[in-house]
Amino acid sequence: MLSEKRVGRKIYKRIFPYLCLTPLFLFLLLFLAYPIIFQIVLSVFRVPLNLQFQYVGLKNFLNLIRDPDFINSLRNATIFVGGSVAGQTGLGFLTAVLLRNVKVGRNFFRAIFLIPWLLSDISIGSMYILMFNDYYGTINEILASLKLNKINFLTSTEFAIWVVTIANIWKSFCIVMLINSAALNSIPEELYEVARIDGASPLQSFRHITLSLMKPFIALSLIITTMATFNYFGLIYVMTYGGPLDSTTVPAFYMYRWALEWGDFGYAASVGVIILVVNLTLTTLYIKLLLRGEI
């Protein structure tokens, strides 16, 4: 009888963690797996606003790869996503390193840097429109005061995508800062003391201790910022609405327009599937390049 109780306890201890994870697994299955599967299924149909499903197979994807507007949105995404990820990762990492050396008011400064992320897209977009307006914007007023020519930031096909990229960097770099701050706080100070005793320079300590131990966190921040930016178009919607001449239209905004303006949920879903594939591909690359041999 006693042995049966012990066996029962052992079995219970083994399955208890899985029982605890079951609600989370069901939650993910319902709110993550189901939408992804539904989107993939939807992408092989033509679904107008009257929701009459018409099976078209891979026609949506074949039209996509021949769609010059979609190809243009991918080009814009290389600037918007690439610039945002590079800017957020670099600025967030630098801010975290600088804050590590701040002894008084560190948490206060972290809270200040979080403010842009707490603001709405409308607030940030309006602020950047006022800053970069072609006629009365702050930046152009500064250029005029320096006897320089004003620049058509938001109505130029060359500069508009960079303006919304800068706005996105300013809004979200604090997330990378928080991730890197947590990573830096997890590094024991004793490692740096041992390195100094061994004669390592600050640059060598930074390279071999800080960067080496922060690789998983850097990979995490790259994955988060890439996926978030590739699926994001709020500031573009507010500041340029994809213009001028579609120069700021990115795949996520292109998907939105096909779904809610041009009335084909199936074609929009096929764009979403492409975005999903790109995100998964980039995530795999980050893991292989930064976490090689660590997992």
Q: Are residues 54 and 138 part of one domain? A: yes
Of 63-72, 214-223, 280-289, which has the strongest mean pLDDT? 63-72
DSSP, res 262: S
**How confident is the model over 58-90, as pLDDT tens digits?**
999 999 999 999 999 999 999 999 999 999 999
Q: Domain tally for the chain? A: 2
Q: Are residues 79 and 19 part of one domain? A: no
Could you report how far apart the first and last alpha carbons of the chain are, in Å? 43
Task: Work out the angle at residue 218's Cα, subtended by the Cα atoms of residues 185 and 286, and round it to the nearest 5 degrees.
Answer: 155
Residue 54 domain boundaries: 43-290
**How confident is the model over 228-259, as pLDDT tens digits?**
999 999 999 999 999 999 999 999 999 999 99
**H-run or E-run covering 54:** strand 54-55
Q: Are residues 115 and 3 part of one domain? A: no
3-state secondary structure of 45: strand
Q: Are residues 47 and 23 part of one domain? A: no
Partners of 46 in the beta sheet? 54
| 295 in any annotated domain | no
Q: Which CATH number does the domain housing residue 208 bear?
A: 1.10.3720.10
For residue 8, the model assigns a pLDDT of 62
Band of the pLDDT at 189, cuts 50, 70, 90?
confident
Tokens of 140: 């152009």
| 278 in any annotated domain | yes
Q: Are residues 132 and 219 part of one domain? A: yes
